[in-house]
Amino acid sequence: MNIEFWLNSIEFKNGLTVNLEKDSIVVFVGPNNSGKSRILREIYQLAKGPKINNEILETVTISAKGDSEDFLKRIESRRKDRTYLYYESGNNAGMDGNTLKDYWNVLIKGGQTSSFGISNFLIKSMDTGRRLGLVSPPDNIDFMNEMRTHSIHVLKEDTEKELQFSKYFKDAFGEEVIVNHGAGKRIPLHVGERPIVTAENDRVSTEYQKKLRTLPLLHEQGDGMKSFAGVFLSLFAEEFPVNIIDEPEAFLHPPQASLLGQMVSQKLGDSRQIFVATHSEHFLKGLLENAVDRLIVIRIERSKLANSVKVLNNNDLQNIWQDSILRHSNILDGLFHRRVVLVESDSDCRFYSAITSAIVEDQKNSSPDILFIQSGGKHRFPVIIKALKELEVPLTIIGDFDFYHDENPTKSVYESLGGDWNDIKSDFYKVKRAIDEKRPELETDKLKEQIDLVFNSFSDKIIPEQKIKDIQSLLKKSSPWSQAKQSGKAYLTAGDATMAFNKVQTAFKEKNLYILELGEIEAFDKSIVGHGPKWVNKVLEKDLLLSEELEEARKFVNNTILKS
């Protein structure tokens, strides 16, 4: 019978308990210096035994299944005489088989909070300090009598594993990895096209070695390739049931980080637990490609002396991943920042980000660690807000004046921010009706007349692009909301509608929801003609700190985005 070993729960000092499965992939995210690396160390330490100076975790519970004899068979490669040596070093006393069997029999009773003696054989921890050394050539060993102390030892002993790992590496980098079986005291890995083995020229023959040694050495390649290969090789070759990895994306470019996430979640199967601390949206997306159902995302944020810990609901994560636009946006990057500013479009992102950066640089302040995210339209605000709120990512939401056009998604947005829609519903509809009842610039008959004029002005079989724009412009004039979005609050009549608007705006601001009273971002500088990207491109050519036309924009950014 195969043995099983896993952490079935972790309990935080704030009382939160996260239950785990045998194949859970637990990803810790959050801003810099929030405690992500520390929590990995605490998991590793608690699994060995109680630790009195933990800051984030209270306890872990550990479970195991299988016969103690099967456990000893699992770690047979660690045995030297009657002693089983720890993996990290050959220079230790280790433990005798009977003692290990006793410890194992305690574990299989269930509910244990440590695995003293056992964890050294079944939990692997990889920190960033040793990352690049994972593919450095280890000392050669007597495979009949000595303990394997390196993942490269596993590849040398198991040709099938070597070839499988080589295939995965080729998928990533287009090159094979070849173990050098005839290098003497060391066992290096080469990168390139594998020499052909024949009956006359095996892997230690002179002819084979001459060809192999013309290939580059893996440990002499770039840090990205070494880091990628080291992390994945350790996970693939050593088959620890519990793996702890700090910043697996270290030294990797975004595409490589994404690929590593994909390979970790797809190529290793579902027979092990993985605990990861990461700063990379790309690595997280790679995991989501193949293991969204196994994924548990936990955000950590540190405020003064306390750590805030929150688990993202997996259903919310899947909702984001299933939305094609959100899936290819940078929303998940919000998990790694102290605050997110959510806006409707990419033009909004560029504009607010540029003004914010100009003010911060002028005031010589430290970076506020803000991420600007665009949703591709206000109708996607609710799913993004819900997901980020679940992880307690501080949010500032900015929308155009036409948030008052319909109850949805405005109601969903307000409620997802913790507001009670019934408190503002009456006033919201006062504003909406005040605009709905306004006479549009073009009524039906006049609109038809103007559109007919456009069609009569050309004879092409296909409508010219400019004529399409002319018709779209006319259609906007058939609704009072087009004018309202351009004019904002000024479009409302004095009296009840304006009073209702002010009440709703106050309620929105209490929830960090800011609806532009000017209407839309183009109203911040009406000296520039255009809309969207064209308007933003022209604005960004100005002096963002001194331009008089942008004074209102600077005030708005200071009072919303930079307020603290």
Residue with more model confidence, 148 or 35: 35
Measure the CA–CA gap between 235 and 241, rounded to whole angstroms: 10
> pLDDT tens-digit profile of 367-418?
788 999 999 889 989 988 988 887 788 999 999 999 999 999 999 999 999 9
Which of the four pLDDT bands, split at 50, 70 and 90, describes residue 355?
very high
Measure the CA–CA gap between 121 and 279, rounded to whole angstroms: 29
Measure the CA–CA gap between 25 and 22, rounded to whole angstroms: 9
User: Nearest-CA neighbor of 550 among 541, 362, 506?
Assistant: 541
The single-letter DSSP state of residue 243 is E
Measure the CA–CA gap between 322 and 331, rounded to whole angstroms: 13
Mean local confidence (pLDDT), 520-548: 94
CB atoms within 10 A of CB 237: 20
The single-letter DSSP state of residue 35 is S
CB atoms within 10 A of CB 504: 24
Mean local confidence (pLDDT), 432-436: 93
Predicted local confidence at residue 517, as pLDDT:
96
Residue with more model confidence, 365 or 32: 32
Predicted local confidence at residue 441, as pLDDT:
66
CB atoms within 10 A of CB 455: 11
**Rounded to whole angstroms, what are the CA distances from 535 to 154, 209, 211, 470, 547?**
60, 64, 61, 19, 15
Q: Is 214 exposed, middle or buried (0-12, 13-18, 19+ CB in 10 A)?
A: exposed
Measure the CA–CA gap between 417 and 430, rounded to whole angstroms: 22
Please determine, for residue 12, whether its predicted confidence score (pLDDT) is greater than 80.
Answer: yes
> pLDDT tens-digit profile of 119-129?
889 999 988 77
Q: Is 351 exposed, middle or buried (0-12, 13-18, 19+ CB in 10 A)?
A: buried
Mean pLDDT of the chain: 90
Measure the CA–CA gap between 485 and 482, rounded to whole angstroms: 5
Predicted local confidence at residue 499, as pLDDT:
97
> Which phi and psi (to 5°) does residue 506 adopt?
-65, -40
Predicted local confidence at residue 442, as pLDDT:
60
> pLDDT tens-digit profile of 83-111?
888 765 545 667 899 999 999 999 998 88
Beta 4-12 vs 17-19: how paired, if at all?
antiparallel
Q: Is 335 exposed, middle or buried (0-12, 13-18, 19+ CB in 10 A)?
A: buried
Residue with more model confidence, 441 or 199: 199
Lowest mean pLDDT across 200-204, 340-344, 502-506: 200-204
Place of tokens 């060809």: 211
Please determine, for residue 1, whether its predicted confidence score (pLDDT) is greater than 70.
Answer: no
Mean local confidence (pLDDT), 198-214: 93
Which of the four pLDDT bands, split at 50, 70 and 90, describes residue 498?
very high
> Which phi and psi (to 5°) does residue 513 adopt?
-110, 120
SS3 of 66-83: the string is CCHHHHHHHCHHHEECCE
Lowest mean pLDDT across 41-45, 209-213, 474-478: 474-478
CB contact at 8 A, 258 and 160: no
CB contact at 8 A, 378 and 344: yes
User: Nearest-CA neighbor of 156 among 175, 192, 184, 130?
Assistant: 184
Collect all residues with Cβ–Cβ distance below 8 Å to 160 and sequence separation of at least 6: none
The single-letter DSSP state of residue 328 is T
> Which phi and psi (to 5°) does residue 360 adopt?
-60, -45
CB atoms within 10 A of CB 443: 11
Measure the CA–CA gap between 350 and 354, rounded to whole angstroms: 6
Q: Which two tokens stand for residue 306?
A: 């306390």
Predicted local confidence at residue 18, as pLDDT:
96
> pLDDT tens-digit profile of 365-377?
777 889 999 998 8
The pTM for the full model equals 0.84
Q: Where are the beta strands (DSSP E) in 100-147?
A: 123-126
Measure the CA–CA gap between 192 and 177, rounded to whole angstroms: 7
Which range, 273-277, 285-289, 299-303, is most confident? 273-277
